[in-house]
């Protein structure tokens, strides 16, 4: 059998080498996206702990509201009888005529019917008041910002501050001044995260407070039938508007501040060893926190300080 020529054998070896290289290149091309995905920075998303707290309280309060309204209706009936009996005694002692007694009784019954109507149609009046103020605050900034979103932004800012600083640092650059700067950046990142946790907690507190207020209101409206306890119902109505204005102010500030704070991420993600950007973001976060903590309380308190429906005054006047 004739042996292949040397040139033919060389061509065959070259073809095999090229084929192996092509196979390796194909495998590398297929593995490249996976490797790139593994090396690419993954955004830090904290577990939805705060949003879960809000949802759990909302579900629990909504489930308990029918039973509370039933208790309120029963309490209202008992106190309404006491109020009418007390009024009858007062009318008798004043020696009022039949016409005066009849007109006073009609006014009394009309006011009691109005108060009982608030219990019977509780879901039509008070939850929409709070939800309406909240929605008005959210319309200022696009998108709905939840406590989990705020906490996630704080985590993202603080981790970006640390990662952005150490991305531009190597072991060769280690020095006393660099270590001091690293400590400052770490402290700034910690306090930024702490302040955003405070802002998120403020949101959770006011939202859950609104749920508890509605649950308590479903109960205390039953005391609106008697002049001695009607002030509880007056305070509840004023409290609902106080909470609504506080939610409006809070979500307005958080919505605008959330969008502003997102523009700070490029400042701390540039890989610079300068501490200026970290301290600047720290100052902005402190200002944001003070706005959220101070303004909603002051606005709601000033606007609802003397607000009253007049349950007690109306019952005592007839």
pLDDT tens, position by position, 182-216: 788 889 999 999 999 999 999 999 999 999 999 98
Residue 82 in this model has a pLDDT that exceeds 60: yes
More reliable by pLDDT, 90 or 157: 157
Residue 169 in this model has a pLDDT that exceeds 70: no
CA–CA dist 161, 180 (Å, integer): 15
**Token pair 């993954």: residue:** 42
Q: What is the pLDDT of residue 107?
A: 86
**Predicted structure pTM score:** 0.76
Q: What is the pLDDT of residue 62?
A: 87
Residue 148 CA: distances (Å) to CA of 64, 198, 251: 26, 12, 13
CA–CA dist 316, 160 (Å, integer): 63
> Nearest CA to 274 among 146, 189, 178, 204?
178
Average pLDDT over residues 114-129: 90
Average pLDDT over residues 43-65: 80
Average pLDDT over residues 102-128: 88
From the CB of residue 257, how many other CB atoms can be counted at a distance below 10 Å?
A: 22
Residue 255 in this model has a pLDDT that exceeds 50: yes
Please answer whether residues 224 and 230 qualify as being in contact, where contact means their C-beta atoms are separated by less than 8 angstroms.
yes
Average pLDDT over residues 15-39: 39
Mean pLDDT score across all residues of the chain:
80
Band of the pLDDT at 177, cuts 50, 70, 90? confident
Q: Would you call 293 exposed, middle or buried from its count of C-beta atoms within 10 A (0-12, 13-18, 19+)?
A: middle
More reliable by pLDDT, 34 or 286: 286
């Amino acid at each position: 059998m004739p042996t292949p020529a040397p040139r033919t054998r060389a061509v065959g070896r070259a073809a095999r080498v090229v084929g192996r290289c092509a196979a390796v290149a194909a495998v590398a091309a297929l593995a490249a996206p996976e490797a790139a995905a593994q090396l690419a920075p993954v955004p830090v998303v904290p577990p939805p702990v705060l949003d879960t707290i809000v949802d759990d309280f909302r579900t629990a309060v909504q489930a308990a509201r029918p039973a509370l309204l039933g208790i309120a209706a029963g309490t209202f009936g008992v106190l309404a009888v006491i109020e009418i009996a007390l009024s009858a005694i007062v009318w008798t002692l004043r020696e009022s005529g039949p016409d005066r007694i009849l007109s006073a009784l009609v006014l009394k019954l009309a006011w009691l019917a109005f108060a009982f109507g608030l219990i019977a149609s509780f879901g039509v009046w008070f939850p929409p008041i709070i939800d309406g103020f909240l929605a008005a605050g959210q319309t200022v900034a696009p998108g709905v910002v939840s406590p989990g979103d705020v906490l996630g932004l704080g985590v993202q800012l603080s981790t970006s501050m640390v990662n952005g600083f150490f991305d531009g640092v190597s072991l060769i650059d280690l020095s006393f001044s660099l270590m001091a700067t690293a400590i400052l950046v770490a402290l700034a990142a910690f306090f930024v995260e702490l302040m955003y946790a405070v802002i998120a907690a403020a949101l959770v507190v006011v939202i859950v407070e609104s749920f508890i207020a509605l649950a308590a209101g479903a109960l205390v409206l039953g005391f609106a039938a008697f002049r001695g306890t009607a002030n509880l119902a007056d305070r509840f109505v004023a409290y609902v508007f106080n909470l609504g204005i506080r939610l409006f102010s809070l979500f307005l500030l958080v919505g605008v501040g959330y969008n502003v704070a997102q523009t700070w991420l490029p400042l701390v993600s540039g890989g610079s060893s300068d501490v200026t950007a970290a301290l600047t973001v720290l100052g902005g976060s402190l200002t944001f926190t003070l706005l959220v903590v101070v303004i909603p309380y002051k606005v709601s308190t000033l606007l609802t300080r003397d607000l009253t429906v007049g349950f007690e005054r109306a019952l005592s006047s007839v």
